[in-house]
Amino acid sequence: MAGKATSFDIAQLAGVSQPTVSRALRGSPTVSEPTRLRIEAIAQQLNYKVDKNASNLRLQETRTLALLFFEDPTPDETGINPFFLSMLGSITRTCALRGYDLLISFQQLSANWHVDYEDSRKADGIILLGYGDYELYREKLEKLVEQETHFVRWGFAQEGQPGTTIGCDNFRGGLDAARHLMQHGRRRIAFLGDASSHYPEFQDRYRGCCEAQGAEGILVDPARQVDALNSQEAGYDAANILVGSGTKFDAVFAASDTIAIGAMKALRERGLDIPGDIAIVGFDDMPAATMTHPPLTTIQQDYKRAGEVLVDSLLQQIRNEKASTAVLPAKLIVRQSCGAC
Amino acid sequence: MAGKATSFDIAQLAGVSQPTVSRALRGSPTVSEPTRLRIEAIAQQLNYKVDKNASNLRLQETRTLALLFFEDPTPDETGINPFFLSMLGSITRTCALRGYDLLISFQQLSANWHVDYEDSRKADGIILLGYGDYELYREKLEKLVEQETHFVRWGFAQEGQPGTTIGCDNFRGGLDAARHLMQHGRRRIAFLGDASSHYPEFQDRYRGCCEAQGAEGILVDPARQVDALNSQEAGYDAANILVGSGTKFDAVFAASDTIAIGAMKALRERGLDIPGDIAIVGFDDMPAATMTHPPLTTIQQDYKRAGEVLVDSLLQQIRNEKASTAVLPAKLIVRQSCGAC
DNA sequence: GCGCACCATGAATACGTATGAGGGCCTTGA
DNA sequence: TCAAGGCCCTCATACGTATTCATGGTGCGC
């Protein structure tokens, strides 16, 4: 037997026709029990596996999802958001459970990769994972919708957005972070992170932070907000700018753990004690948050649940069911950088 | 035009036959220039993409590689080795450059996933990434070889191993780590990590460490080696055992950064100063190594190059060329935990 | 003006699977 | 004994592409 076994090979050995083999292996009730067992035995013996290409061609589906990581600044492999990497495990596992394979890529969204994948029938749908300037890729999303591509996106969820979005409750996360800091006596909370509408996740976190302070009667000082993109360097620079400006603050709420880690380095270099002088809270609960010194108090995004919801929502779309947009809860994880322990 | 455009649709619009369309789009020289241009224009206008399933079926190849993460202990998504995640970026990028897609999975190696993937023609070859008890999966590898599956593995490279392996120079890495510690006055180097043949990477690192000490006339005390699997908890426990045993040591060489981070926590809790009392060197240079306090001196594995070599070696095999086994250099990255700065 | 070579294209077919339509054969009931 | 009906299977075909072989037309040389 040269090459891989086909359903014809099995048919010949079993003394039946090829269609009977196909039906037997798919569990069709029109094949009699003994015939089915005989075919299954031969298939196993030949180590037969259904040829996915042929099967997919016939069925007009791929049983494969595509995952696209994109990051707005240079998509250097070092720059992959660790939070997304954590989510990757959950996504692959969920795909496997649902009987789907996962194709993965780190291309830029600006390439027309997304169009290719579904059109060329490599995948039945696409999962988009990325931070970045929302305005820049909004029109890409609109094009996807227009072409009726099945996709879900991880990010901030808002009315009137193109496509289906799954995200966490950034506003509530910011609210909880600020509340927690205030409960431990901090009254001057600085925010490190871009608060413009181009980075809506960060903006929502900042809004929650402001809301919590307002509820306590604290007037939010805009000077305590310093823009920062999502990198350690940006956090480092932002913290230095903040200290250098002379603005008084006794706590930092960083828009991400990555920013927080950079900020901690800068604060420590300036001789400030964490959490003695400055309490600090991050966002994401990435793995490295437990390894900082002191361990970082942060707002946890449930990456495990997020992966499941992303996959299931996408599969709903593929089955032409109504895809559910969802907002997942964010949870405060208290460690030591906030001074609560 | 219902559904996606096919080559027949284009043929009709261009007033030619389907084979001509196929030839034109693949750049066959037997199609005249004007015809080709006309066809290309129509294809673009219809947003035509070659159906991969049909194409692959016809060509009997998939232009896809499969990546399998496996970890010997419970493959919990939290437990994914960060070093492998770093490599992922490089692998996907290299695949993209070579015109291949990447399928990904976190299954256990014990499932017969690996067999499925190539047999069911979902992928032309497999990349295996995993740490763990080598003896346990050796027979799996032998089975892969027997079935003539194309695969490459990241890990320790040794004569007589089944299949093709790409790895880094663990022995040399261990040697350099110990030398560096000795150059800064440390004479009693402890090793945290399993040194049995079940974990050959760790064993090689330990061997290098011993060799370096021997060259300086230092008698290696076996009491300074404590077994540890690759986790923070294991590092934490091992360091506690070491301290508790009363064995004297002034430096720790950890078999991985993860172990080192756990050990640092334990040492600090015992009131030991790093690097004042104990110098410490890790292995891997995972992203978190820069975030520890103090930043961790470590042996860097070049994940970027590793990803390229893995992909290219696998592609060589697929083209039936002789696949090259390679050992990549390991490089000492000096930070502050070793007391050199 | 005829034959030959050559070029561009069309016709036919294969890749391996899945399914609707149809056909034997056996059972059952009158 | 024969018709009806159910069961199990085969026949034919479709999915969309890529290639081999065949064909028609053109130009060139003698």
Q: Do A210 and A204 touch, CB atoms closer than 8 A?
A: no
Q: How far is CA B317 from CA A177, A295, B147, in A?
A: 53, 46, 14
The pLDDT value recorded for residue A113 is 64
Q: Do A134 and A71 touch, CB atoms closer than 8 A?
A: no
CA distance B289 to chain A (A): 9
Q: Do A315 and A308 touch, CB atoms closer than 8 A?
A: no
- CA distance between the termini of chain A: 69
User: Tens digits of per-residue pLDDT, B119-154?
Assistant: 778 899 999 988 777 777 788 888 888 878 899 999
Span CA (B17) to C1' (C9), Å: 8
Buried b / exposed e across B296-315, counting CB within 10 Å, b at 16+? bbbbbbbbbbbbbbbbbbbb
Cis peptide before A34 (omega within 30 of 0): no
Strands B297-301, B330-333: pairing is antiparallel
User: Tens digits of per-residue pLDDT, B149-197?
Assistant: 899 999 887 777 888 999 999 999 999 999 999 999 999 999 999 998 8
Nucleic strand D within 7 A of Cβ B88: no
Span CA (A12) to C1' (C22), Å: 22
The strands making up B279-284's β-sheet, listed across from edge to edge, are B225-226, B189-192, B251-254, B279-284, B297-301, B330-333
Residues of chain B above pLDDT 70, percent? 93
Name which of A235, A248, A157 is nearest A200 in CA terms: A157
Name which of A116, A66, A32, A27 is nearest A311 in CA terms: A66
DSSP state letter for B48: -
Has residue A1 got a pLDDT over 50? Answer: no
Q: Do A73 and A130 touch, CB atoms closer than 8 A?
A: no
Contact at CB, B105 and A105, closer than 8 angstroms: no
Region A263-271: mean pLDDT is 92
Buried b / exposed e across A262-292, counting CB within 10 Å, b at 16+? bbbbbbeeeeeebbeebbbbbbbbbbbbbbb
CA distance B291 to chain A (A): 6
Strand D footprint nucleotides (protein C-beta < 7 Å): 7-12, 14-20
Residues of chain A above pLDDT 90, percent? 56
**A335 residue type, one letter:** R
Region B310-320: mean pLDDT is 92
Tell the burial category of B44 from Cβ atoms under 10 Å away from its Cβ (0-12, 13-18, 19+).
exposed
State how far the Cα of A23 lies from the Cα of A243, in Å rounded to an integer. 72
Q: What is the mean pLDDT of chain B?
A: 87
Chain B residue with Cα closest to A307: B77
The pLDDT value recorded for residue A276 is 93
Name which of B257, B135, B150 is nearest B205 in CA terms: B257
Listed by number, the residues of chain A in 34-93 with a beta carbon closer than 8 Å to a beta carbon of chain B are 47, 49-54, 56-57, 62, 64, 76-78, 80, 82, 85-86, 88-90, 92-93
The pLDDT value recorded for residue B57 is 93
Listed by number, the residues of chain B in 171-210 with a beta carbon closer than 8 Å to a beta carbon of chain A are none
Sign of CA dihedral B86, B89, B94, B100: positive
Q: What is the mean pLDDT of chain A?
A: 87
Q: How far is CA B219 from CA A67, B224, B251, B277, in A?
A: 53, 11, 15, 21
- Helix ranges, B46-108 (H): 52-59, 82-97
Region A298-321: mean pLDDT is 92
Nucleic strand D within 7 A of Cβ B54: yes
User: Tens digits of per-residue pLDDT, B245-262?
Assistant: 999 999 999 999 989 999
CB-based contacts of B2: which residues, under 8 Å, 6+ apart? none
Name which of A218, A208, A221 is nearest A175 in CA terms: A208
Residues of chain A above pLDDT 70, percent? 93
Residue in B49, B90, B119 closest to A116 by CB: B49
Has residue A108 got a pLDDT over 70? Answer: no
Has residue A242 got a pLDDT over 90? Answer: yes
CB-based contacts of A339: which residues, under 8 Å, 6+ apart? A184, A186, A275, A276, A279
Cβ neighbours of A62 in B, within 8 Å: 53
Q: Do B299 and B273 touch, CB atoms closer than 8 A?
A: no
User: Tens digits of per-residue pLDDT, A3-36?
Assistant: 688 999 999 999 999 999 999 999 888 899 999 9
Q: Is B4's Cβ below 8 Å from some Cβ in A?
A: yes
CB-based contacts of B41: which residues, under 8 Å, 6+ apart? none
The pLDDT value recorded for residue B69 is 81
Most confident of A63-67, B26-30, B173-177: B173-177
3-state helix/strand/coil string of B108-122: CCCCCHHHHHHHCCC
Cβ neighbours of A70 in B, within 8 Å: none
The pLDDT value recorded for residue A247 is 94
The pLDDT value recorded for residue A97 is 84
Cα B2 → chain centroid: 44
* Residues at the strand C interface (Cβ < 7 Å): A 3-4, 6-8, 18-19, 22-23, 25-26, 48, 50-51, 54-55, 57-59; B 11, 15-20, 23, 29-32, 35, 54, 57-58, 60
